[in-house]
Amino acid sequence: MPGLRRISIILLAAFCLSRPVSAQEQTAQLPEGIQIGLSTDVIRITADFAGADLTIFGSLENSDPQINRQGRYDVIVVLEGPARSVTVRRKERVLGIWVNTQSETFVNVPESYSIATTKMPQDITEPNSYKQLALGADYIHIQPDEKGENPATLHEFRAALRERKRAVGLYNERIGGVQFLSANLFRATLRLAPDVPVGTHKARAFLFRNGMFVKETSAQLAIVKSGFEQMLFRLSSNHSLFYGVCAVALAIVTGWLGRIVFRRD
């Protein structure tokens, strides 16, 4: 009978809505996520600091077991240094002397940029995704201080800036630096250059699924000078005049002592 059939359909729908949802079904309904934790929150730089490796641990949340087994999750971890203005100068030979002929100033440039990936960048996602996320040394935003400059000139100076950063190790990349320890746990190893800048650094982790960006998370790392270097750093920052006078006096005394020690009778 139509009335009885309608009542049966309503009761069946009510049963389905009121049925307890299993933990596996709840996990499948939740969005995938990523979390990271640093092996240390503070790195202290001393006189014998020659660079170091930073370890970052992380985990995937609500990952799909089938996609995990197929290895279609990828993680990219970045440690981005404090941003400052940078001036790039071009030197040319004029009348036999190398002089600065042109310069460009860029603002909010990360002083250091270390990146670790699960595999080759081109095997993780498309270049357009890196550009949209400003992910990677070749895709970070490097904005000129003054607008209206020649695009070709800006491109040349940006390339020179990145090349110089890479040459001194401040911009570096470690392919395979992110390794999965289990289905959901991973470890990333990033390289810190010997002259890594002091200040607050930002660690960021990006999760990709089948080449598509899913989620990002971040944490902070403080890099500070320690011991005698920290005392000199504070002295030069807080009492620059006194620091300058002491530096000049030390240079004079050192030169005078050297003259006495190496004097020829």
Distance CA 175, CA 179 (A): 10
Q: Residue 260, Cα to own-chain centre: how many angstroms?
A: 51
Q: Supply the DSSP string of 14-71, one letter for each residue.
A: HHHHHSPPPHHHHHHHSPPEEEEEES-SEEEE-TT---EEEEEEEEEES--HHHHHTT
Residue 94 corresponds to which tokens in the numbers above? 């004029």
Q: What domains, with CATH codes, occur in the chain?
A: 32-224 (2.60.40.1930), 227-258 (no CATH)
pLDDT truncated to tens, each residue of the chain (265 aa)?
Answer: 444 444 343 334 444 444 454 444 444 457 899 999 988 888 888 877 888 889 999 999 988 989 888 889 999 999 999 999 998 888 777 777 777 678 889 999 999 999 999 999 999 999 999 999 999 999 998 888 877 677 888 888 899 999 999 999 999 999 999 999 998 999 999 999 988 999 999 999 999 999 999 999 999 999 988 755 555 666 566 667 666 777 777 777 777 776 776 666 5
Q: Compute φ and ψ for 178, nearest 5 degrees.
A: -105, 120
pLDDT at 174 (0 to 100): 95
pLDDT at 229 (0 to 100): 57
Residue corresponding to tokens 């003259």: 259
pLDDT at 73 (0 to 100): 94
Predicted model pTM: 0.74
pLDDT at 84 (0 to 100): 92
